[in-house]
Amino acid sequence: MSRATRNSTPSSDTPRRLSNTTLSLLIAGLFVLVVAVLFGLTRLGSDTPDNSSEAASVAVRDNSHRLSTAPGATVNFVEFLDFECEACGAVYPAIEQLRQQYGDRV
């Protein structure tokens, strides 16, 4: 009699396990769907083309203070420096070393 009880217990748990699996798959599917919708909405909102030349013209204006210019340069290195800023003061020696190493190319 105890064997009959043992055999009936796993079969009664089987539908419950299937429903847990189904519920887990449903939750995972909903999560993927929400992420896909959010990703799609953010991509639709940013239909503006990437204009890096416009970004460069905003960063380097005609009245920007230039420490040096490289003739025929296609890339502009813009250094924003404030000695009251600890990070700016810490990176200043490295920038000066690059300026000495590359000379008029920077």
Least confident among 8-12, 39-43, 68-72, 95-99 = 8-12
pLDDT on residue 40:
83
Q: Is residue 55 part of a domain?
A: no
pTM of the entire predicted model: 0.33
Q: Which structural domain range is residue 36 located in?
A: 1-48
Q: CB of 102 within 8 A of CB of 96?
A: no
Domain-located, residue 93: yes
Lowest mean pLDDT among 17-21, 36-40, 77-81: 77-81
Percent of the chain at pLDDT > 90 equals 8
> Do 11 and 39 lie in a common domain?
yes
Whether 54 maps to a domain, the answer reads: no
Q: How far apart are CA 20 and CA 27, in angstroms?
A: 10
- How many domains, the chain? 2
**Do both 1 and 44 map to the same domain?**
yes
Are 44 and 69 within one domain?
no
The DSSP letter of residue 85 is S
- Residues 38, 2, single domain; the answer is yes
> Within this chain, do residues 14 and 42 fall inside the same structural domain, yes or no?
yes
Residue 96 lies in a domain: yes
